[in-house]
Amino acid sequence: MPTVTFTGVDSGTSRNTLKNSMAFLSRSRLILACLLLSNVCFGASSGPNSPNTESTDSTVGTVSWSFPSPDGTFASDSNRATASLTASNSTRYLRNQGFGFALPATNCVVDGILVEWQRSGTSPVDRVIDSSVRIVKGGVIGSTNRSAGIDWPLTVAEEAYASFGGATDLWGETWTCADINATNFGSVVSGSYIGGVGATLASVNHTRITVYYTGSNWRTEEICD
């Protein structure tokens, strides 16, 4: 058995120091063995975000939208996109894109999309209703119409946000988070005047979208004491 000789210090003290160090290393190995690297999912939402483009899309309806300068629907303010309706006709689509989402590029699953429009009609007797409400993916208008024929408030003073879709509604589409981040992701809405006479002014003040998604992060967890 070789003999270890400690020089310059008391050999008993050095022996205790070595024993303490080895005990510390032993505990450290135990702690490392109890750490688990796991992929943990979390639910999140992004938004509501506002668009940076607005236009008339002639896919439906007959009456185009007019937009003030610099914009009508980018914010809830005194500027509105408007369409003058008569004799039971409908607006063309009001199309919004450029919502500026920045969902994670990886480990990201889209769970639902909520679209809200702040809008009104101005006829005191007859009404404007939603005729078509759809999502835009990759610049293409979706096949799912979420309109329930809801009345638009009758005055600008009564403007309110109407909600379509939600936290678990994918609007009949299959999504990647890159689809949401794309500049050609957006929404369209068309209104119909259900009065047979007179005229009304359909107005949209603001469009906004909230996206719900599941992400995941790698994290270490201690699984024993």
The residues, ordered by sequence, that sit 6+ positions from 31 with a Cβ below 8 Å of its Cβ are 222
- Give Cα 187 distance to the centre of its chain: 12
Nearer to Ca ion, 78 or 168 (CB): 78
95 vs 137, beta carbon nearer Ca ion: 95
Query: Nearest approach, Cβ of 204 to Ca ion (angstroms)?
Result: 8
Query: Hey, what are 106's tokens?
Result: 């990886």
Site string for Ca ion, 87-116 (x = CB under 5 A): ------------------------------
Q: Is 221 in the site for Ca ion (CB under 5 A)?
A: no
The answer to whether residues 81 and 203 touch, using CB atoms and an 8 Å cutoff, is yes
Beta partners for residue 117, in sequence order? 162, 207
Smallest gap, in angstroms, from Cβ of residue 158 to Ca ion? 16
Backbone angles phi, psi at 176, to 5 degrees: -110, 160
Sole binder of Ca ion in the list 123, 181, 205, 207 (CB under 5 A): 205
Of 76 and 176, which has the nearer Cβ to Ca ion?
A: 76
- Quote the Cα angle for 142-145-148, to 5°: 160
Q: How many residues bind to Ca ion according to rule CB under 5 A?
A: 3
Nearer to Ca ion, 205 or 210 (CB): 205
Residue 172 amino acid letter: G
Minimum distance from residue 172 beta carbon to Ca ion (Å): 29
**Nearest of 191, 197, 199 to residue 84 by alpha carbon:** 199
The CB-of-220 to Ca ion minimum distance in angstroms stands at 48
* Paired tokens of 219: 């994290």
Which positions from 63 through 92 interact with Ca ion, judged by CB under 5 A? 77, 79
Binding-site ranges for Ca ion (CB under 5 A): 77, 79, 205
